[in-house]
Structure 1
Amino acid sequence: MSAQHPARPVVAVKPITVPVPAPGRSVDLQVKVTAPLTGANLPVIVFSHGNAWSMDGYEPLVDRWAAAGFVVVQPTHLDSRRNGIGWDDPRFATIWRVRISDLHAVLDGLGGILAQAPGLADRADLDRVAVVGHSWGAQTAGTLLGARVLDADGTPGEDFTHPAVSAGALIAATGTGDSLTPFAVEHLPFMRPDYSTMTTPALVVAGGRDRSQLSTRGPEWFTDAYRLSPAPKSLLTVDEGEHTLGGLAGEKVAETTDEDPARVALVADAVSAYLLDALGLDASGWAAFEKAAQDGVGWDVTGK
């Protein structure tokens, strides 16, 4: 896959403020909308960022998705560093719930959000909607696909699925909570996903060199969302990928330890191809990925 930026022009509109009825949000929920300049019947991706990021991150992913024909909506969650809410802030313990509420608010108000981007509301297909997330955002997105959060006793929590969501992609998704480090147990007790109820079709993307400081397990921790969820699911494993898989959040950002634009393009294009297939629009791109994976090119695709 080429790392060159797609030539199809895209446009972004920000900030758009979204009404959020959920308690616990002390600042407005704002989103960024990115879309191709032309085209109709465009499917929609609602994207949940990783810890501390915002709607202004992940441009290498988002622009590539928009160039592939998607409308992408990016909320800024409460944990964004621009809001100054750290690990020890009393609000941090409930941010995982606020994140989920953010995605529901975006989905519930999607028509109104897109209406604020001139000419876009009539070009989007609101019957073909997917959720995608990276890192903490992947756990957030996973709840809308059917995953639940276990409490301290191992009891599954609420069902946060949303009827508008038909498919998803989880990039570097949190694994199960049985191997959390003491820091994670203290500060991130909600990091205990139960994937057994995640029935919505999804692509899980994992890096073969992704080692989290929050878990005592190795890279296989990030494949739990695939291994422990029911079919239909697909798993893309990127052999040399670390947690940012080449720099998903942006070029030369501090978190990127494995900078590789070609790897970012691979992940972006795999997600686009998978979702176009899962949303019933075009199966050829994902079929090509599955075929290419058989050639041993540094990444692998598995399905069930």
Structure 2
Amino acid sequence: MELHSGPRRPTATLGRRVFAVKPVAVPTTGRGIGLQVKVTAPVDGRDLPVIVFSHGNAWSMDGYEPLADRWAAAGFVVVQPTHLDSRRHGIGFDDPRFATIWRVRIADLHRVLDSLGDILDQVGGPAARADRDRVAVAGHSWGAQTAGALLGARVLDAEGNPGEDFSHPAAKAGALLAAAGAGDALTPFALAHLPFARPDFSTMTAPALVVAGGKDQSVMTTRGPEWFTDAYHLSPGPKRLLTIAEGEHLLGGISGEATKDTTDEDPARVALVADAVAAYLHDVLGADARGWQALQDRIGRSAGAFGVESK
């Protein structure tokens, strides 16, 4: 097990010291490869809400440090599992296991939530300081679809029938970053490789913040960037939508600094995404509404860089 003690970026950026522990083993069956998570938490503080974060395709618990660090500095315990599609496992589109990984991803989040006490006990300090009644799920890209399933979204089959309900009672709210939209606008590439990318948001009743980039041009859809706002527009309230005008799929580099996947690198944009999610979850989980109000107050000064809708 590896321990990192913060700050890993300037204190002025993070606000408080954070630490991370990895890998933490999570008991599971029928997965073939063991499930491991990374836990990032503030060094001090009590009654800390929890974010369980699902990474995008091919990433792992070691990605998205700019988000995890900033959320921990804002007073959250962050738990990041490594899903089977992580590039470290070598399971690509042509692997017969790939077709069912979307289900394993959802099962991973269920297992993490069901084992949260044991996970935090292995880490030590956060076990006594976490508030397990205030838990949120979050994710980016494929991870956003995964997290959305725990909030009540379902997957449509080829005939358009909604699949089973994967919602979890511990997931009180969520944050969906660059979430795939409705399946009626999939490209031939997406239909061939990702037929499960057909979410039905009509049953996603849990509170959620949807974050979309105004320049997120995806090979998965024929509709363009507005496709990534479907999780907001097609789901019942209460929901909020944060649209970042110049944001592309990695929203400035949320997966890590100087990663080759990022085409719109902007540390300020990453900080905006991280801070908006933290402010939203503090508000909706009943801790503090001031951060979200401060974000709304910034809109008028942003010269159109981002906007917020609510319903």
Q: Work out the CA distance in 1 between the residues paired with 2:146 and 2:301.
A: 33
Aligned 8 A contact 1:146 1:160 in 2: yes
Deviation for aligned residue 1:296: 4.2
Is 1:299 the counterpart of 2:295? The answer is no
Other structure's SS at 1:35 match: strand
Q: Which has the higher contact order (CA 8 A, sep 6+)?
A: 1
Q: Work out the CA distance in 1 between the residues paired with 2:247 and 2:121.
A: 38
Q: TM-score of the superposition, structure 1-length normalised? A: 0.97
Aligned 8 A contact 1:3 1:263 in 2: no
Deviation for aligned residue 1:103: 0.1
Is 1:122 the counterpart of 2:128? The answer is yes
The residue type paired with residue 299 of structure 2 is: A
Aligned 8 A contact 1:294 1:300 in 2: no
Determine the structure 2 residue equivalent to 1:159. 165
Determine the structure 2 residue equivalent to 1:14. 22
Change (3 A) 1:128 1:28: same
Change (3 A) 1:210 1:53: same
Q: TM-score of the superposition, structure 2-length normalised? A: 0.95
Q: Work out the CA distance in 2 between the residues paired with 1:142 and 1:3.
A: 33
Aligned 8 A contact 2:37 2:82 in 1: yes
Change (3 A) 1:172 1:229: same
Deviation for aligned residue 1:294: 3.5
Q: Work out the CA distance in 1 between the residues paired with 2:281 and 2:297.
A: 17
Determine the structure 1 residue equivalent to 2:6. none
Q: Work out the CA distance in 2 between the residues paired with 1:7 and 1:235.
A: 26
Equivalent residue for 2:261, pick from 238, 255, 262: 255
Aligned 8 A contact 1:3 1:261 in 2: no
Equivalent residue for 1:234, pick from 240, 255, 258: 240
Change (3 A) 1:172 1:115: same
Aligned 8 A contact 2:58 2:87 in 1: yes
Determine the structure 2 residue equivalent to 1:171. 177
Q: Work out the CA distance in 1 between the residues paired with 2:301 and 2:254.
A: 25
Determine the structure 1 residue equivalent to 2:35. 29
Q: Work out the CA distance in 1 between the residues paired with 2:147 and 2:175.
A: 8
Determine the structure 2 residue equivalent to 1:104. 110
Other structure's SS at 1:250 match: coil
Deviation for aligned residue 1:293: 1.8
Is 1:39 the counterpart of 2:45? The answer is yes
Other structure's SS at 2:14 match: coil
Stretches of structure 1 that go unaligned for 5 or more consecutive residues are none
Other structure's SS at 1:216 match: coil
Other structure's SS at 2:250 match: coil
Aligned residues: 301
Equivalent residue for 2:75, pick from 64, 69, 79: 69
Other structure's SS at 2:125 match: coil
* Partner deviation per Cα, 1:20-71 (whole Å, 9 max, x = no partner): 23x3x21100000000000000000000000000000000000000000000
* Partner deviation per Cα, 1:106-161 (whole Å, 9 max, x = no partner): 00000000001122211000000000000000000000011000000000001111
Q: Work out the CA distance in 1 between the residues paired with 2:122 and 2:280.
A: 28
Determine the structure 2 residue equivalent to 1:199. 205
Other structure's SS at 1:122 match: helix
Residue identity over aligned pairs, in percent, reads 71
Change (3 A) 1:5 1:295: closer
Stretches of structure 2 that go unaligned for 5 or more consecutive residues are 1-9
The residue type paired with residue 213 of structure 1 is: V
- What is the CA RMSD across the aligned residues, in angstroms? 1.3
Deviation for aligned residue 1:291: 2.5
